[in-house]
Amino acid sequence: MTTGTTPEPPAAVPLLDLQALVVAVRRRRRLWCAAALLGLFGGAAVAVLLPPPPTAVTKVLVTHQSDQPNDPGTLIRTDVALLHTTRVAGEALRSLGSPERPADFLRDYEGVGLTNNVLQITVAGDSDAQAVARARALADAFVADHVRRVEEAAAADARALLDQRDRAQDELAQVNEAIEEGSPESGPGAAANMESLFARRAELTSQIADFGQRAAEARVGTPRLVAGTQIVDGPRAVPHSLPGTAATNAAIGLVLGLVLGLAVAAVGAVVADRPVLRRDVAAHLGTSVVAELPRGPGGPWRRRRTRAARARLVASLARTVRGSAEAVSLLELGCARTTGLLALDLARALAAQGPVVVVDELPGTRLAGRRPKPGDPPVVSGERAATGSRQGRRLGVGSVSPGATWTDLPGLGTQAVLVVRAGHGSAAWLHTVARQLAEQRVGVLGAVLIDPDPGDRTDGTLWDGPRTAPRGPAERTARRNGAGRHRTKRPPVCAAGVPDGNQEAR
């Protein structure tokens, strides 16, 4: 009976990798920091170059005939709307003797309802004195307009009530006349008719008294409303502090710039789809990340750590090259200068056991055109290496960046170590590199990640075989005896399972 291992189903790929997104946004800190600084300086510049005009503020207490404690603010919103009318603006301009058009004056002031009965008016002007005068004139015009509307409404109510009283008096006169002209005949019908006339006269008399009283109350309530509508806080100039305004605008600009920069960085990271984490780079290249190397200048402590990391990396690559029977090359993606310096260090480490020749195929002949230092290994270009007959170990240095000549890569070495800068190449281009190296029969020994994220804790190792440890004495014994081995020797090129260009790259 034969036993086999069931291949594990591929893990579901999330639609949006939040960890990769956070790392990509953090690596673009120059972008969103620059946007935040731009917003900071922009807000401060706006406060300095475009200062607010002189402004005056006043408050008006507005009383309404239908005021209610539970009013949701409808009446004061109506007052605000009436304040922004050309009638009120025109009255204020006439009192000031200004030739300005009311429609233009409407843009210079605004009203806000602070409570159900308090209206705040803010007016701008060319100077503090003009702003104060405008605010007073506008408040007086609004109060006069409100008083006129209240008096007109009260007069209309009183007039309507008096008209109804007059009609009732006319009818009462007719009833009285009918009673006086009543027939002296006695009988049930005449008695009932006279009784109805007397009842109607009493009803009309009551209505006349009621209409007169209501008309008087309408007139009496008007003075209370007129006296209640007044300016409770006189117009005064609003103090303006340039440092305070600049600080406020700068803070607002800083927040807006930071938010905009973070949004642009996040959208750019999602659209560009440039792998940053070790696991993503390894998955898209089809090879494991064997080492990392920081990039860029830093403090003295960081330089020491970088030099120590570079020394460990060079020693590890030297052991790999010495253990390989075939020529090995370093192929860069987004880090040509770092790869060239790494190749020189590697060549110096290999020169202790024999002559080494560095074949330079980097864009622009970065190494072949430089002035050699004492003790440096010889560096030749690809053309000179093809025509020359130098003896010794060959160490190729090339590029797999866009525009690279793929057919020249086997001449640099049949084994390659990829030196990739994190976040430089897109996922689709990493797939292209893996497929092209597989087609050119160039074995990939691993990838060196340049400028990794310091907070990256993902695993950049690709597995080929069982992913679980032995679970018992029998299984461990079988593994020690060689039985049950189902780990197969994989070729150097780990391009299997890499989707082609028509498939979606995540």
pLDDT tens track for 295-339: 755 556 677 788 888 888 888 888 888 887 788 889 999 888 888
**What pLDDT, on a 0 to 100 scale, did the predictor assign at position 483?**
41
65 SS3 class: coil
pTM: 0.62
For 449, the token pair is 């990640």
55 SS3 class: strand
Q: Which of 426, 440, 397 is nearest to 501 (CA)?
A: 426
**What are the boundaries of each domain within the chain?**
18-50+243-271, 55-239, 274-463+472-481
User: What is the percentage of the chain residues whose pLDDT exceeds 90?
Assistant: 26
DSSP states of 296-326: S---HHHHHHHHHHHHHHHHHHHHHHHT-SS
Architecture per CATH, 274-463+472-481? 3-Layer(aba) Sandwich (3.40)
Q: Which residue has the higher pLDDT, 374 or 278?
A: 278
Is the separation of the CB atoms in 446 and 357 below 8 Å? no
pLDDT tens track for 30-64: 899 999 999 999 999 998 888 888 999 999 999 88
Please say whether the structural domain 55-239 has been given the CATH code 3.30.1890.
Answer: yes
Cα-based distances in Å from 178 to 175, 185, 186, 281, 428:
5, 15, 16, 112, 108
- Angle among Cα 29, 30, 34 to the nearest 5 degrees reads 115
pLDDT tens track for 220-273: 657 777 888 899 998 999 888 888 889 999 999 999 999 999 999 999 888 888
502 SS3 class: coil
Is the separation of the CB atoms in 125 and 108 below 8 Å? yes
CA neighbours within 13 Å on the CB side: how many for 297?
0
55-239 and 274-463+472-481 agree in CATH topology: no
Mean per-residue pLDDT of the chain:
80
pLDDT tens track for 340-352: 888 888 888 888 7
Averaged pLDDT for residues 206-210: 83
Q: In what order do the strands lie in the sheet with 356-360?
A: 289-293, 443-450, 415-421, 328-333, 393-399, 356-360, 379-381
Cα-based distances in Å from 228 to 61, 127, 146, 225:
7, 31, 11, 5
